[in-house]
Amino acid sequence: MKAQLTSLWASKHSGRVQMLDYDQMLVWVTMVLMLFGMVMVYSASISLPDSPKYAGYSTTHFVYRQALFILLASLVSYGVFHIKLSTWQKFAPYFFVFTLVLLVAVLVPGLGKGVNGAKRWLSLKVLNIQPSELMKLFVVLYAADYTVRKQEYMHKLTKGFLPMAGAVGLVGLLLLLEPDLGAFGVIVCIAMGILFLGGINGIWFGGIATLLVGIFSLVIVLSPWRRERIFAYLNPWQEDNALGKAYQLSHSLIAFGRGEIFGVGLGGSVEKLHYLPEAHTDFLLAVIGEELGFVGVVVVVYLFYWLVKRAFDIGRQAIALDQTFAGLSAKGIGIWIGVQAFINMGVNMGLLPTKGLTLPLMSYGGSGVLINCVGLAILLRIDYENRALMHGGRGA
C-alpha cells in the first residue's frame, strides 16, 4: 500500500520535479550580474539630471527604466525557455533574414533613430530596438544551423565557407553604414568561431582570419575619425588627445586609478560627475573600478568567466549527446557574451581602442539586456534538454 501511494505521489509531481531540473546556478549568476549592474547604473547616472542634456530627467529615471528592462527580459526569457531547440533551428534562417530587413530599415530616413551621429535604433515609443543586438543572437542560431546543414561541405571553400561569408559580409556592410564597427566585430567573431568549431578547413580559416584583420585595418585607415581615435588610444595622455579623442579613455583610466584595491566606496565616484561620458552605458566598468576597486572588477570578470565557461560546458555536453545544433548554439552564445564583455572591459582599461559596446547584462539599455537574457534562456533550454536526454527522455 505504501509503495502504491509513493508511486502515485511521484506520478502526480513528476512534472514539477522535471521542471526543477535546470541549471539554477546559471540563473543566479545571470540575475546577480543584472541586479549588480542595476545598482551601478543608478550610481553612475544619479548626477546626470544636473547637465542640460538630461535636465528633464529625475535622478531615478535610468534605474527605474533599467529595472523595467530587467523585469521585461525576465518575463520574455521565461517564455523563451519553454521553446524547443528544434523550433529555433527550424526558424533560424527566417529570423536571420528578418533581422537583415530591420538593419535596412534603420538606414531609411524617418524610421531609423540617430544618436551621436550614428543611426542604430528603431523607435517603438516605449522601447528603442537596436537590430544589431538582435543580429548577435540570430547569427548564433543561423551559423549553428548552417554548419549542421552544410556539414559535408565544411572543408570546401565554395560550398562551405563562401555562402556564410557572403551573409556575414552583407550584415557587415549594413552595420558599417550605421556605423557600428564594434557590433560587426562581435558578429564576425561569433560566425567565425562557430564555423571553426563546426569543422571548417584550418588552412582556409587561417587565411580568412588574416583577410578579416586586413579588412578591419583598411576600414580604420580609410576613415579619418577612426584613424584619429587609434592614434589617441596609443597616446591618451598627450594634451590634444586627452582633451579630444582620448577624453573618455583618459578619464576611465583616472577612475580605475582612484579606485585602487577596494575603491572609494559605493556612490563615491568623482568621474561620474560629468567628467566621464556615457558612464552608465559603455564605461560602467570604470565606475565599478572607481567605487569598488580592483576587488569589484575581479568579481565582475570572474562572473563573466564562469558564464562563458558554463556555456562551453553545456555545448560540449550537447555535442557528446549528438545534438550538434544545440552544442554549437551554446558555444556561440558563450563566444558572443565573452567577446563583447572582453572588448568592453578592454576599452575601459585602455587595452583596446574605444568602441561603443556595452557590458552585457550590466550596462544601461533595453535591447542589450533583453537580447542577452533571451540568449541565456536558450542556453538554459539547451542544458535542460541535455538533462532530459541523459535521463532517458527526448529533450522535450
218-238 residue pLDDT tens:
777 777 767 777 777 778 888
Average pLDDT over residues 105-119: 76
pLDDT at 239: 79
Does the pLDDT of residue 369 top 80, yes or no? yes
Instruction: Give the CA distances from residue 293 to residues 264, 313, 343, 385, in Å, rounded to whole numbers and listed in that order.
Output: 7, 31, 20, 40
Does the pLDDT of residue 159 top 80, yes or no? no
Say how many Å lie between the first and final Cα of the chain, rounded.
33
Average pLDDT over residues 356-370: 92
Does the pLDDT of residue 178 top 70, yes or no? yes
Does the pLDDT of residue 135 top 90, yes or no? yes
Helix spans in 82-130 (H) = 85-106
| Most confidently predicted of 46-50, 86-90, 222-226, 248-252 | 86-90
* Residue whose entry in the numeric block shows the C-alpha cell 543561423: 142
Q: Give the neighbor-by-neighbor strand order of the sheet with 118-123.
A: 112-115, 118-123, 128-129
> CA angle, corner 199, sides to 198 and 201, nearest 5?
140
Q: Residues 162-179, buried b or exposed e (16+ Cβ, 10 A)?
A: eebbebbeebbebbeebb
pLDDT at 395: 52
Is the preceding omega at residue 131 within 30 degrees of 0, hence cis? no
Query: Sorting pLDDT into bands at 50, 70 and 90, what band is 12?
Result: very low
pLDDT at 234: 75
Q: pLDDT, tens digit, for every residue of 273-304? A: 989 988 999 999 999 999 999 999 999 999 99
